[in-house]
Amino acid sequence: MIPRSLPVVDQPYPDESLFGFVLRMCQRNRLAGMTWLLGQLGRRSVTQLGEADERAIAHLFGADPVAIERLVVRGRWVDGTQHHWAFGHQLTRPYLLRLTRPQWCPLCLANGGYARAAWEFQLSTACHLHGVTLADQCSGCGRRQRWQRTSLYSCGCGASLSDARAERAPDAALEISAWIARRLDGDATAPTERVAMTPVGPWSILAHGLSLDGGMRLLYAAGLRRDAGHRVGPGEARAGLTTLECRDACVRGVARLAVIQHAPSEEERRHLRELLHLPALSAIAADGLERADRQLVRSLLEVGLGVPTSKGRFAGGRDNAQLELPGV
C-alpha cells in the first residue's frame, strides 16, 4: 500500500535528477534517505524501482506525477541491445549514463542546491554554472558515492560533499557539459542561475545538429584511448569510468577532432588513425540514430582520416549526400 503523503511536499525542478529529488525531500522531512524510501516501497535497490513506484514517489512528496515521469530514465531492449530514454533523448549505449554512481558540483551543493539531471550523463563532467569539475568521491573517506545513502549533501562517513575539491574545469570538458545541459533544456528553466560559462570552441561547431547519443558516442570513440599503445578491450567503456577519467577522455577527444577539422597532414592522419577507436566510429556511421550522426562520422572517416568506408555496409539508401567537415 502506498504510504500517505509526507508533511513537507514540493515539486522537482525541471532539470533535477529523480534520485536527487528523493534525497532532497527525505532530508527536508528528516527521514533516512533512500534507505527509508526503498523500505516503504518494498525494494532492495534503486535499480528495482518501476512505474508503480514512480506514482508512489509522486504521492509521497506531493509532486505532479507528470513531473516525476519526466525525470525517469527508462530502459528497453531493441533488437538485442539495451537502449535508454532519458529526458526526451534516446541513448543506444548504456555506458553513456551513470545511473548508480552519482557525481556532483560542490559549489551547487554548498548553496543548498539540487542534483541536476545533466550530471547523470557519463560525459557531463563539469558544472556549466560554476565552471568546475564535478566530484564523485568523498573528501573525507575517499569513497565513490551511491544514491543509496541518507543525505543529498553528505557522505555516510559524515563529511560534507560540498567540501570536495572544486577545481576549474578544462574548457573542452566545460563546453561538452554545457552542450549536454542545453540539449536537455535544463538551463532554460533557471534564468537566475545562468552564469554563461559556456566557451564556444571546436566541439560546439562540430556537434551542431548531432543527436545527444551520436555526439557522446563520437567523443568516446575519439578520446577513450589514452595513447596509441592503449588497446581498448571489450567492455572498457562500460567499466564505470570515474569522473576524472571521463573528463580527460573528453579533453583528448575534442583535441583530436579539432586536428581532423583543420586539414591534417598525412603524418597527422596516420597518428590519428592509431589514436581513435575506428571500429566505434564505423559503428556510428552504420547505426547512428540520426542522419547527421551517420553523415558526419562518415566524413570524419573518409575525408578527415582517409579511411574508406564500405558502401555496401553503410549505404542503406538513406544517406547519399556527403557532409562537409568544418575546415576540411
Task: Give me the pLDDT at residue 3, please.
Answer: 60
Q: What is the pTM of this model?
A: 0.87
- CA-CA distance, 49 to 41, in Å (whole number)? 9
Q: What is the pLDDT of residues 173-208, one digit of tens each?
A: 999 999 999 998 744 444 445 444 566 678 988 898
DSSP string of 262-274, one letter each residue? T---HHHHHHHHH
Element spanning 86, H or E: strand 81-86
Burial (0-12, 13-18, 19+ Cβ within 10 Å), 222:
buried
Q: Residue 15 contacts by C-beta under 8 Å, 6 or more apart in sequence?
A: 116, 117, 118, 181, 184, 185, 186, 187, 189, 190
In this prediction, residue 229 carries a pLDDT of 82
pLDDT 10s digits, 108-163:
999 889 999 999 999 999 998 999 999 999 999 999 999 999 999 999 999 999 99
pLDDT in tens, 204-252: 888 989 999 999 999 999 999 998 888 776 666 555 789 999 999 999 9
| CA pair distance 237, 200, nearest whole angstrom | 27
320 pLDDT above the threshold of 70: no
Kindly state the cell numbers that stand for 319: 544517406
Average pLDDT in the 20-48 region?
Answer: 93
The answer to whether the CB of 102 falls within 8 A of the CB of 134 is no
Band of pLDDT at residue 83, cut at 50, 70 and 90? very high
The average confidence (pLDDT) of the chain is: 87
Phi, psi for residue 308 in degrees, rounded to 5 = -65, 140
Q: What percent of the chain has pLDDT over 90?
A: 69
Closest CA to 246 of 224, 278, 226: 224
- In whole angstroms, what separates CA 225 from the centre of its chain? 19
Q: In angstroms, rounded to a whole number, what is the distance separating the alpha carbons of residues 50 and 43?
A: 10
- Section 64-85 average pLDDT: 91
**Better pLDDT: 200 or 276:** 276
Q: What is the pLDDT of residue 261?
A: 86
Q: Got the DSSP string for 145-208?
A: P-SSSS-SSB-TTS-BGGGS--PBPPHHHHHHHHHHHHHHT-GGG-GGG--------HHHHHTT
pLDDT beyond 50 at 313? no
* Cross-strand partners of 91: 84
pLDDT recorded at residue 52 = 84
Q: State residue 328's pLDDT score.
A: 36
Considering 170-174, 308-312, 322-326, the range whose residues carry the highest mean pLDDT is 170-174
Measure the CA–CA gap between 120 and 100, rounded to whole angstroms: 9
